[in-house]
Amino acid sequence: MGQVQGKVAYVTGGAAGIGAACAKTLAREGAKVMITDLDDARGEKLVAEIKAAGGEAAFRHQDVTEEAPWAELIADTEALFGRLDIMVANAGIAIFGPASTMSLADFRRQNAVNVEGVFLSARSAIPAMRRAGGGSMILISSVAGLRGSANLAGYSASKGAVRLLSKSLALELAHEGIRVNSVHPGIIITEIWEKAATRAGGGLNAPLDPQVLGAAVPIGKPSSPQEIANGVLFLASDASHHMTGAELVIDGGITAGAVRRPS
């Protein structure tokens, strides 16, 4: 307990899924947490849960692709909690479908949230982290940002961009004590994937079955949001003080190679 005691964290897309797990975990470990999301009802409910458990948190409505509100939201965080030490750039969307039929509008929307939103998260946090004397940025990418995936060309492109954005920022900011690392979750059943599969339709719904998903993971089961949050906690804490520009892969072995089950 207390791994991030006294620190202040900002979690985008924090009302559900991985973001909510990160917010609850950071709060449990002593951080004051600013949660932002488009889903006000869930965000406020999560804040209530964190406070009921003895933590400190606040919620603000945010579309991470809108540039103008960022300065005010960061200032609000500093006014409320005194500083900013941790930025978890988690907000993202997924749109399934072959590149041959994906609309340019869908491709651009995916990049607006997954790349531009992450860029704005990081850029907006820099001045506050400088005032705090350093900090840790954790940019949520994906195993899809490490390798290609059929029917996920747009998503993979956006998550690959996050990977290299993280490395470039790490080099720019290392001398200021601001660390930047990317996290690469594997297969996780969260609403972002349920929505993407429903929109895509057809056979793309089938892989969301836990048993089907588990067969594709060497460990034998999909990851959980909490398992990703545990990695985020490590990168947010002083235990990872010598890590920057790194890729933390939490995928049950997916990127290690092909699954070979005993016969």
Percent of the chain topping pLDDT 70: 89
Q: What is the largest CA-CA distance in the chain?
A: 60
Residues 6+ apart with CB under 8 A from 4: 26, 29, 30, 31, 85, 86, 233, 236, 237
Interaxial angle between packed helices 17-28 and 225-236, expressed in degrees from 0 to 180 and rounded to the nearest 10: 50
For residue range 104-133, what is the model confidence (pLDDT) as tens digits?
Answer: 999 999 999 999 999 999 999 999 999 999
For residue range 57-76, what is the model confidence (pLDDT) as tens digits?
Answer: 999 999 999 999 999 999 99
Architecture of domain 8-191+225-250: 3-Layer(aba) Sandwich (3.40)
Q: What are the Cα distances from residue 161, in Å, to 80, 93, 142, 217?
A: 32, 14, 11, 24
**CA-to-CA distance for 130 and 137, rounded, in angstroms?**
12
**Active-site residue 155, yes or no?**
yes
Grouping H, G, I as helix, E, B as strand and the rest as coil, residue 259 is coil
Identify the pLDDT of residue 190.
Answer: 72
Q: What are the Cα distances from residue 156, in Å, to 55, 80, 152, 251?
A: 35, 36, 6, 15
Higher pLDDT, 262 or 16: 16
Grouping H, G, I as helix, E, B as strand and the rest as coil, residue 135 is strand
Determine whether 143 is exposed, middle or buried from the number of CB atoms within 10 Å of its CB (0-12, 13-18, 19+): buried
Identify the pLDDT of residue 263.
Answer: 58
**CA-to-CA distance for 116 and 63, rounded, in angstroms?**
11
Identify the pLDDT of residue 199.
Answer: 53
Identify the pLDDT of residue 203.
Answer: 43
Confidence of residue 206 (pLDDT cuts 50, 70, 90): very low
What pTM value is reported for the model?
0.93
For residue range 125-176, what is the model confidence (pLDDT) as tens digits?
Answer: 999 999 999 999 999 999 999 999 899 999 999 999 999 999 999 999 999 9
Identify the pLDDT of residue 86.
Answer: 99
What residue segments make up the domains of the chain, in order of their start? 8-191+225-250
Identify the pLDDT of residue 22.
Answer: 98
Grouping H, G, I as helix, E, B as strand and the rest as coil, residue 59 is strand
**CB crowding 3-17: b at 16 or more within 10 Å, else e:** bbeebbbbbbbbbbb
Q: What is the mean pLDDT of the chain?
A: 92
Confidence of residue 193 (pLDDT cuts 50, 70, 90): low
Token pair in block for residue 48: 């209530």
Catalytic option among 10, 107, 155, 193:
155
Identify the pLDDT of residue 258.
Answer: 72
Identify the pLDDT of residue 202.
Answer: 41
DSSP structure string for 90-126: -------S-TTT--HHHHHHHHIIIIIHHHHHHHHHH
Confidence of residue 198 (pLDDT cuts 50, 70, 90): low
